[in-house]
Amino acid sequence: MSHSCPHDPFAKIRKEKGVLATEFQGKKIPMILRHGDVKQAAKDWETFSSDAPFRVPIPSEEDVRNVRQLPIETNPPEHKEYRKIVDPTFRKPLKAEFAHKIETLICSLIQDAASRESMEIVREFALPLQSRALTHLLNVPESEAEIWISWGTHVFRDGGDGTSKGAQLTEYLERKFDQASEKPGDDFFSGLLAAEFQGRKLTRDECMGFANLTFAGGRDTIINSVAWTIAYLAEHPEALPALRDDPRLILTATEEIVRVVTPLTHIGRVCPVTTDVGGEKVAAGERVSLCWASANFDETVFDSPEEVRLDRKPNPHVGFGSGTHNCLGAAHARLIIRTLLKEISSNVKMIEILEAKRNIEREADYSREVAYDSLQVKITLA
Ligand code: HEM
């Protein structure tokens, strides 16, 4: 099977039933699988609430962090006001000056990769790219990324070795807010310390909640998208001239990559009252999952969903979520993927995969490939 062939473990049950009751942390959580149902649930925050600290991600994250992530773990109307605080930061990738920085960054990574005999893409390309790009979003010196790179790829997940990986991030962020309160600048941390919510300053926990989500939410998602894109281009060299010659294809290809990779498989919501979800009873206070990965392969919406079509249009994927909480980092993620496609197609002749180890998300009732654990390649410039 092709390395980059997407895999849809939900196909059968999506068609038959539309809901998969899956065990997470010893409890069954119904996963909503159909595109229309997922979109409907993402809109209906009164039935499917995000006002649930630590419990929006599945598995839940009580052991990984000690603050409520913002703005994601809130409902309207508070959500809107929280989201407004960080909106200007997340709009920066729409500016030409910002795009230029990402272009310079990606060009230098490609040159470095091509100068080596071979490169391991996940750790040596995707992680540095994600980390350095984030410094520009947060307006901190690019050298700060070296600290984030040194944390490795799975830093925010518990490693199963008894150590809480989240503690490293918490300590780091506390230090950054301490420094910013002593000497405010024009960086993300200082901006949060100065921000107001309902006429008062944010608490330190609220600042930490915004920063925690920005670091955690934008890490594996970007790394997996970048690694998958490079593997795809290695296996489909015919895509390189096509992308180089047609800038519109770069736009549609970026959306198709987010659809087929769907780096965030699903996310949780809590039902405040007992709710029937496709025949599965969810007791008050229990959770459901909105499965973006299944919705993105719904054959009633996407023609031949298992095919990667770089020119797919329309492409109403929900890879960045849908409705109230749609991804704030989407402009940044799109810019990174588009620039990667543009620079590789303009400068690279060939990418050869030397060794690939897939990243498999293994749960009790399904397994899903999400890009790569490691990807050793040789890159030859044009
Ligand atoms: C929300 C996916 C990159 C920050 C979301 C949601 C999804 C998602 C599915 C919706 C969550 C929900 O409905 O509860 C992705 C994917 C990415 C990506 C696939 C990359 C390809 C990023 C990046 C950042 C980021 C780079 C930050 C640097 C956020 C934030 C939210 C969010 C702050 C919460 C928005 C809200 O609650 O209003 N993301 N994300 N994401 N994402 Fe992303």
Is 50 exceeded by the pLDDT of residue 110?
Answer: yes
- pLDDT band, very low/low/confident/very high, at 163 (cuts 50, 70, 90): low
- What is the 3-state secondary structure of 226-253? HHHHHHHHHHCCCHHHHHHHCHHHHHHH
- What average pLDDT does this structure show over 172-189? 98
11-381 adopts what CATH topology?
Answer: Cytochrome p450 (1.10.630)
Q: What percent of the chain has pLDDT over 70?
A: 96
Report percent pLDDT > 90 for the chain: 92
The secondary element (H helix, E strand) that includes residue 97 is helix 96-115
Q: Which numbered atom of ligand 1 lies nearest the CA of 73?
A: 37
Query: How many whole angstroms from 381 Cα to the centroid of ligand 1?
Result: 33
Task: Identify whether the C-beta of residue 22 lies closer than 8 Å to the C-beta of residue 31.
Answer: yes
CA 42 to centroid of ligand 1, rounded, Å: 13
Q: Is the CB of residue 217 below 6 angstroms from any atom belonging to ligand 1?
A: yes
pLDDT tens track for 228-269: 999 999 999 999 999 999 999 999 999 999 999 999 999 999
Q: Is the pLDDT of residue 6 over 80?
A: no
The residues spanned by each domain of the chain are: 11-381
Ligand 1 atom closest to residue 210's alpha carbon, by position in its atom list: 33
Average pLDDT over residues 184-205: 98
pLDDT tens column, 264-304? 999 999 999 999 999 999 999 999 999 999 999 999 999 99
Confidence at 165, pLDDT banded by 50, 70, 90: low
Does position 146 have pLDDT exceeding 50, yes or no?
yes
241 Cα: distance to centroid of ligand 1 (angstroms): 31
Rounded Cα gap, residues 326 and 260, in angstroms: 18
Question: Is the Cβ atom of 71 under 6 angstroms away from ligand 1?
Answer: yes
Give the CA count within 13 Å in the CB-facing half-sphere of 262: 29
pLDDT of residue 3: 47
Tell me the CA distances in angstroms from 153 to 61, 92, 220, 299, one per residue in order: 18, 25, 7, 33
pLDDT at residue number 7: 79
Q: 3-state SS string over 349-367? A: EEEEEEEEEEEEEECCCCE
What pairs with residue 267 in β-bridges?
A: 290
Pairing of strands 19-24, 119-120: unpaired
Q: Is any ligand 1 atom within 6 A of the Cβ of residue 70?
A: no
| Span 317-328, average pLDDT | 98
Beta carbon of 267 within 6 Å of any ligand 1 atom? yes
> Which of 61, 82, 102, 327, when mutated, tests ligand 1's pocket best, judged by the most ligand atoms within 8 Å of its CB?
327
Task: Kindly state if the Cβ of 6 falls inside 6 Å of ligand 1.
Answer: no
What is residue 340's DSSP assignment?
H
Q: What pLDDT does residue 71 have?
A: 98
**Distance from Cα 292 to the centre of ligand 1, integer Å:** 12
CA of 330 to the centre of ligand 1 (A): 7
Given the CA of residue 50, which atom of ligand 1 is nearest to it?
14
pLDDT of residue 167: 85
For residue 4, what pLDDT is reported?
53
The reported pLDDT for the residue numbered 153 is 83
Contact of 222 with 125, CB cutoff 8 Å: no
Q: Is the pLDDT of residue 155 over 70?
A: no
181 alpha carbon – ligand 1 mean position (Å): 27
